[in-house]
């Protein structure tokens, strides 16, 4: 079946880095997005990838391997305020899942001092 | 700050009651999505529109929900007869393109069905 899987929780230390993993299985592939959601707030777009490899966007970088159905979001120079839930979302093909995004349940990142 | 406006922020209903929520998408965005996020953080796609037309919806939405996106008026999502399992955060999102690389979300309407 179709789905997006993420670990529930991740803990890291201020000033270091954190890698949030995402694996997916969808009918076709038309891009993968990452969103940040703080408690009680709207999800906020971070990044979109459709080609394999690493996309460096400064504080956030994303990696994609379409053949493995795998992506990660890399946060560097972590700050306490990076503590949030990070959601992975995949868009399948129009004939399969349609044009909607299929979301994972998010990884709750806790950044400790 | 989100430019997608959802009202009300909180909604409390009894079982069997109608529950209606509204969404004003970002100006100029023709595509609107509704998602349900439950207490386990699972996102369930409900329905999407392009301008006023429904693109796709799930069975539950077709049978129990009423949704529309009229021109020059807010989009709306209404549960005809609320059930306890409908308690969740209902998120509206809009996109400037049909390819939907980037969705802009509202803060959501948190529905509690007692």
Q: Show residues of chain A in contact with B88, CB under 8 Å.
A: none
User: Nearest-CA residue of chain B relative to A99?
Assistant: B99
Q: Give residue-wise pLDDT tens across range A48-57.
A: 999 999 998 8
Q: Which residue of A has its CA nearest to B110?
A: A40
Structure confidence at residue B98 (pLDDT): 72
In this structure, how many other beta carbons lie within 10 angstroms of the beta carbon of residue B92? Answer: 31
pLDDT for A82? 96
Determine the 3-state secondary structure of B21 from DSSP: strand
Tens-digit pLDDT profile for residues A8-29:
999 999 999 999 999 999 878 8
HEC sequence for chain A: CCEEECCCEEEEECCCCEEEEEEEECCCCCCEEEEEECCCCCCEEEEEECCCEEEEECCEEEEEECCCCEEEEEECCCCHHHCEEEEEEEECCCCCCCCCEEECCCEEEEEEC
Query: Given this model, what pLDDT does residue A10 score?
Result: 97
The better pLDDT of the pair A101, A105 is held by A105
Cα A25 → chain centroid: 14
User: Under DSSP, is residue B25 helix (H, G, I), strand (E, B) or coil?
Assistant: coil
pLDDT at A97 over 50: no
* Per-residue pLDDT, A1: 62
A45 with B102: Cβ contact below 8 A: yes
B56·A42 Cβ contact <8 A: no
Note the pLDDT of residue A99: 65
| Local mean pLDDT, 10-residue blocks, chain B (114 residues) | 89 97 94 93 90 87 90 94 95 85 92 96
CB contacts < 8 A, A to B, total 57
Per-residue confidence band for A109, with pLDDT thresholds at 50, 70 and 90: very high
pLDDT tens digits, A59-77: 999 999 999 999 999 999 9
């Amino acid at each position: 079946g179709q789905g997006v899987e993420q670990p529930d929780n991740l803990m890291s230390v201020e000033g270091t880095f954190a890698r949030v993993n995402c694996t997916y299985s969808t009918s076709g592939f038309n891009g993968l997005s990452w969103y940040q959601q703080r408690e009680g707030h709207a999800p906020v777009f971070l990044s979109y990838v459709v080609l394999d490899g690493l996309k460096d966007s400064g504080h956030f970088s994303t990696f994609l391997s379409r053949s493995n159905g795998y992506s990660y979001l890399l946060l560097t120079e972590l700050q306490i305020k990076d503590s949030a839930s990070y959601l992975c979302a995949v868009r399948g093909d129009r004939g399969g899942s349609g044009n909607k995004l299929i979301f994972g349940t998010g990884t709750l990142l806790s950044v400790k001092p | 700050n989100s430019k997608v406006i959802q009202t009300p922020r909180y909604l409390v209903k009894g079982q069997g009651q109608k529950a209606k929520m509204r969404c004003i998408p970002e100006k100029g965005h023709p595509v609107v999505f509704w998602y349900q996020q439950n207490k386990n953080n699972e996102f369930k796609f409900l329905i999407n529109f392009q301008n006023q037309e429904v693109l796709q919806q799930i069975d539950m939405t077709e049978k129990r929900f009423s949704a529309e996106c009229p021109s020059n008026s807010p989009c709306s999502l209404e549960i005809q007869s609320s059930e306890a399992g409908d308690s969740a955060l209902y998120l509206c999102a809009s996109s400037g393109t049909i390819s939907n690389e980037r969705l802009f979300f509202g803060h959501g309407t948190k529905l509690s069905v007692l």
